[in-house]
Chains A and B, each alone.
Chain A
């Protein structure tokens, strides 16, 4: 039996994937070519990278960060990885394993930082102590540590694996609130300033489905399971909403985001408030931070978080999950214990 009837748009060999937004099917080789070209175009359009840059890739062990690392190396860039162990139970242990195996198999340099080992706290504990959503403490810790690693390691630029779906979902959220300040700053390149490294997102022209396909075709083993903290969050809801629209009218997501960048971002540029005030060095870690009004010694957000949370007894993941996320987490742990769960639902995300 033939594998499929659809043929590659480029070479007419049997296709392995249909990409409705391109109204075409592709074989493995030409899918990879398409992905490489989209990354090259993003890099060129936004002046993201040059071949002699020292690049630090923010590696999570998921598909996007491993794929962009792989693509950059293929395109001849000098890229090393940094993985941060966030202490999110089994999820973090497994993610770290995927990142390390990817690097080891290819003889690449992967730096690692363990939040608990080196800074005395983890994401679930930070969430519990600060009574804020886990992604807030997580995001701030990651940003700080990538900035610091880039400064200390003399890297020219930090690359993150944000893809078209990620950026379209953030744009959707910002547009739902008409948050002009955030909208004005939602660009694929953040230039270096005041001790903060340049940050770029070379995957903004590629969808999550294309990145997962890249990994499968390239034989990259990655963390497929979701971070337990993400289950049921708003960001995922926006992605699902956008994918329903995309299903009805292919190409909507890229038009929404890429046309925003091309047509709307320049109009909004004047609305991006100039960096509020001079930055000064954090009295504890030396990172750039805003000067406090009070006249106290400046302390950056990361050091303040660490000061509140470090030394607190570790809080298990389950205790910071609520509602559907906790139910899903329990179901996943049960499923991990038993080979198959016959009554499983098929919605692909939350156990009912």
Chain B
């Protein structure tokens, strides 16, 4: 699946299927600091992601 990342904007390809929590763990991302959006909708930690999904991992912490 193609995963869009931010800060800065970029894309990585990850082999699916997997759960949201597995995806974040694989990328060493803390679940507290990110949300995962599939095709425009939020997905909880145990939500399943497939190769055909459009995924965005959105960072939620800001330093301002």
Contacts and interface: CB of A to CB of B under 8 A. Distances in A.
Given A246-B32, A331-B8, A336-B8, A349 B42 contact: no
Nearest to A227: B64
B61 A16 contact: no
Contact of A335 (B10, B62, B64): B10
Nearest to A333: B8
Contact of B9 (A165, A243, A336): A336
Interface size grouping (class) on chain B: 35 or more
B1 interface: no
A211 B60 CA distance: 8
Contacts of B11: 340-341, 344
Given A16-B43, A18-B44, A346-B28, A351 B12 contact: no
Chain B contact residues: helix, strand, loop or mixed? loop
Interface string A333-349: 01110001100101111
Given A217-B42, A230-B62, A225 B48 contact: no
Interface in A301-352: 328, 331-332, 334-336, 340-341, 344, 346-349, 351
A25 B33 CA distance: 17
A239 interface: yes
A4 B46 contact: yes
A240 B33 CA distance: 8
A311 to B, nearest CB: 27
Contact of A17 (B6, B44, B64): B44
Contact of B42 (A16, A62, A208, A236): A16
A349 B59 contact: yes
B63 to A, nearest CB: 3
B35 A216 contact: yes
B45 A348 contact: no
B41 A236 contact: no
A5 B46 contact: yes
Contacts of A2: 48
Contact of A341 (B10, B31, B32, B41): B10
A57 B37 CA distance: 28
Interface in B9-29: 9-12, 27-29
B59 A224 contact: yes
A233 B31 CA distance: 21
Interface of A: 1-6, 15-18, 20, 25, 28, 60, 62-64, 135, 165, 207-209, 211-213, 216-217, 224-227, 230-231, 233, 235-236, 239-240, 243-244, 246-247, 328, 331-332, 334-336, 340-341, 344, 346-349, 351
30 contacts: A4-B44, A6-B47, A17-B35, A18-B44, A18-B45, A62-B62, A62-B64, A208-B61, A209-B32, A212-B58, A213-B42, A216-B37, A216-B58, A217-B42, A225-B6, A226-B63, A230-B63, A230-B64, A239-B61, A239-B63, A240-B61, A243-B30, A244-B30, A246-B32, A328-B8, A346-B27, A346-B29, A347-B27, A348-B6, A348-B27
Given A1-B48, A225-B9, A226-B63, 19 more contacts: A4-B44, A63-B62, A207-B32, A208-B61, A213-B35, A225-B8, A226-B62, A227-B64, A236-B63, A239-B61, A240-B33, A243-B33, A341-B11, A344-B5, A344-B8, A346-B29, A347-B27, A348-B29, A348-B57
